[in-house]
């Protein structure tokens, strides 16, 4: 989706800028940093003999969610109970003994607009994902080192643009960014763990969303509000997300077992990062560097050891972005860097059902973008997940969520002036101010490795405008892990 208007040419929700000398210098500096980090990592690998550790988290990213879980192994042993075809006739166990884990999954998201929006209609989108994780400690004796590759195939249509009239949020998060490629690269990177996994280094073709403001719980929801991250973050150029990729890396240090400090640097480039196939690994399109920093606290509270995750982070993109407000003054457009800020949490408040994951978990997220040159200004999301409430089906889960977002005030003013002076509109449905989304779902295991999730979604002020009617959506999300 490309918008053209008085603010320049915008790639979903970030603006293309000219490559001046500052961009060239940022490009060169970033390239040199990646090369230097590669050298440091390569020198560190032979020194691992004295540092025995378990693979214990980049981590646990999967092709369904693209999310990390700081307590999950990055190369988990296969569990036949979780796969439709079990142990693949012993092949999964054989590969795991070599240090190789291979996962194949399929996700579909069907949705129909039954009331409101532009018109009634139905769309279907799907993703096939393949993930290969290699534990080189098992395979070749290189302690603490692993590599990770993920590719996807995506197809389908977008209900939100076809029938709802919302070009900000999507009813089906799985749609888009696959560019009709049979194979689209998501990531390919190396990971090194040191000092009993208290130091974790990742470097390669990656993206900030792999680690920052991430949770494996977010994609228990289907709307592109929180799955895979707070939308205000991923809508902007620097905070690249699944399934795009760029050159970059991050370091995570655990001062204690329940705290971490994480910092990363990534090449910032316009959509689509990694090119149409995801295999464009050149640095030609890098316009600057995206720096990210996050602090996390992951407690186990009370006698029942209720898990929680609390995160605060910030991102800074050195690229030059055209400001939203130059039309208000008539002055030549000014360009400058962009900042982002986020707070996220999830906390189980009680256990139920007798299973390890059964209970009620509350979740929330807040994100703020620089309103001078971003689409979003403020973004708030709250939700809950509840399982273990039915003894006969302890793994069934109820999900509820509410999203509110505020469009940048300077962008709203600029769109108002476009309308007043009869200029070509940046957004075809009117002046954008704020919008809301309600989501309710019921997740139920159907068979080994097969999960179904009926959905209800209600879009209030779709796209942040009052001219499009509120839309009521019914849907079904399916996931199969083969």
Going across the sheet that includes 3-5, the strands are 3-5, 8-11, 14-15
Mean local confidence (pLDDT), 192-200: 96
Our separate counts of H helices and E strands in the chain read 7, 20
Q: Please, are residues 251 and 262 in contact by the beta-carbon 8 Å criterion?
A: yes
Sequence-distant (6+) residues with CB within 8 A of 97 are 138
Q: Using CA atoms, how far apart are residues 437 and 471, in angstroms rounded to an integer? A: 10
CATH architecture of 3-481: Beta Barrel (2.40)
Every domain of the chain and the residues it spans: 3-481
Does the pLDDT at position 421 exceed 50? yes
**pLDDT: which is higher, 78 or 36:** 78
Q: Is 468 helix (H, G, I), strand (E, B) or coil?
A: coil
At residue 424 the predicted structure's pLDDT band, cuts being 50, 70 and 90, is: confident
Q: What is the pLDDT of residue 331?
A: 59
At residue 308 the predicted structure's pLDDT band, cuts being 50, 70 and 90, is: very high
At residue 22 the predicted structure's pLDDT band, cuts being 50, 70 and 90, is: very low
Interval 153-189: pLDDT, tens: 999 999 999 999 999 999 999 987 777 788 999 999 9
Interval 329-386: pLDDT, tens: 555 566 789 999 999 999 999 999 877 789 999 999 999 999 888 999 999 999 999 9
Q: Using CA atoms, how far apart are residues 404 and 307, in angstroms rounded to an integer? A: 26
Element (H, E) at 95: helix 91-98
Does the pLDDT at position 407 exceed 50? yes
Q: What is the pLDDT of residue 426?
A: 83
Least confident span in 2-6, 16-20, 138-142: 2-6
Does the pLDDT at position 65 exceed 60? no
Sequence-distant (6+) residues with CB within 8 A of 465 are 427, 429, 430, 431, 432, 433, 435
Mean local confidence (pLDDT), 205-225: 96
Q: What is the pLDDT of residue 25?
A: 40
- Ramachandran angles phi, psi of 53, nearest 5°: -150, 160
Does the pLDDT at position 1 exceed 80? no
Mean pLDDT of the chain: 84
Interval 126-151: pLDDT, tens: 999 999 999 999 999 999 999 999 99
The percentage of the chain sitting over the pLDDT mark of 70, rounded to a whole number, equals 81
Query: In the 8-state DSSP scheme, what is residue 176?
Result: S
Mean local confidence (pLDDT), 185-209: 97
Does the pLDDT at position 265 exceed 90? yes
Q: What is the pLDDT of residue 4?
A: 29
Question: 306-329 burial by CB neighbour count: b if 16+ within 10 A, else e?
Answer: bbbbebbbebbbbbbbbbbbbbee
Number of alpha carbons in the 13 Å side-chain half-sphere of residue 82: 9
pTM assigned to the model:
0.83
Does the pLDDT at position 215 exceed 70? yes
Q: Please, are residues 358 and 388 in contact by the beta-carbon 8 Å criterion?
A: yes
Residue closest to 327 by CA, chosen among 111, 6, 5: 6
Least confident span in 16-20, 61-65, 462-466, 472-476: 16-20
Radius of gyration of the chain (CA): 22
Residue with the two structure tokens 């705290």: 259
Does the pLDDT at position 321 exceed 90? no
**pLDDT: which is higher, 476 or 357:** 476
**pLDDT: which is higher, 327 or 130:** 130
């Amino acid at each position: 989706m490309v918008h053209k208007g008085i603010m320049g040419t915008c790639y979903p929700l970030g603006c293309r800028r000219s490559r001046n000398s500052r961009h060239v210098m940022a490009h060169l500096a970033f390239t040199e940093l990646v090369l230097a980090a590669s050298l440091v990592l390569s020198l560190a690998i032979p020194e691992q003999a004295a540092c025995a550790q378990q693979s214990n988290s980049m981590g646990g990213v999967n092709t369904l969610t693209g999310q990390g879980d700081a307590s999950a192994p990055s190369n988990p042993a296969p569990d036949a109970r979780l796969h439709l075809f079990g142990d693949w006739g012993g092949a999964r166990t054989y590969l795991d003994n070599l240090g190789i884990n291979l996962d194949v999954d399929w996700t579909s998201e069907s949705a129909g607009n039954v009331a409101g929006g532009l018109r009634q209609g139905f769309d279907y989108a799907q993703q096939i994902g393949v993930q290969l994780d290699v534990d080189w400690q098992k395979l070749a004796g290189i302690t603490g080192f692993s590599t990770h590759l993920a590719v996807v195939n995506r197809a389908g249509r977008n209900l939100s643009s076809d029938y709802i009239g919302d070009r900000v949020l999507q009813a089906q998060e799985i749609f888009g960014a696959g560019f009709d490629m049979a194979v689209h690269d998501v990531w390919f990177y190396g990971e090194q763990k040191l000092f009993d996994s208290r130091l974790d280094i990742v470097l390669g073709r990656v993206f900030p969303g792999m680690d920052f403001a991430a949770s494996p719980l977010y994609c228990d929801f289907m709307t592109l509000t929180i799955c895979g991250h707070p939308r205000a973050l991923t809508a902007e150029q620097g905070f690249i997300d699944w399934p795009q990729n760029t050159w970059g890396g991050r370091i995570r240090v655990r001062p204690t077992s329940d705290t971490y400090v994480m910092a990363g640097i990534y090449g910032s480039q316009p959509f689509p990062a990694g090119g149409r196939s995801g295999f464009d690994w050149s640095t030609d399109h890098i316009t600057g560097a995206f720096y990210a920093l996050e602090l996390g606290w992951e407690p186990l509270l009370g006698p029942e050891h209720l898990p929680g995750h609390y995160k605060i982070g910030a991102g800074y993109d050195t690229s030059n972005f055209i400001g939203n407000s130059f039309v208000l003054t008539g002055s030549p457009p000014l360009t400058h860097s962009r900042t982002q800020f986020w707070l996220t949490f999830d906390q189980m408040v009680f256990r139920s059902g007798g299973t390890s994951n059964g209970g009620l978990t509350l979740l929330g997220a807040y994100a703020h973008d620089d309103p001078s040159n971003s689409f979003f200004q403020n973004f708030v999301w709250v939700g809950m997940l509840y399982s273990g409430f039915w003894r006969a089906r302890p793994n069934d889960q109820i999900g509820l969520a509410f999203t509110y977002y505020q469009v940048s005030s300077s962008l709203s003013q600029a769109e108002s002036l476009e309308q007043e002076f009869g200029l070509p509109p940046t957004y075809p449905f009117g002046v954008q101010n704020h919008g809301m989304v309600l989501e309710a779902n019921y997740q139920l295991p159907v068979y080994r490795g097969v999960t179904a999730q009926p959905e209800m979604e209600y879009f209030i002020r779709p796209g942040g405008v009052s001219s499009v009617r509120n839309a009521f959506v019914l849907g079904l999300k399916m996931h199969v892990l083969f």
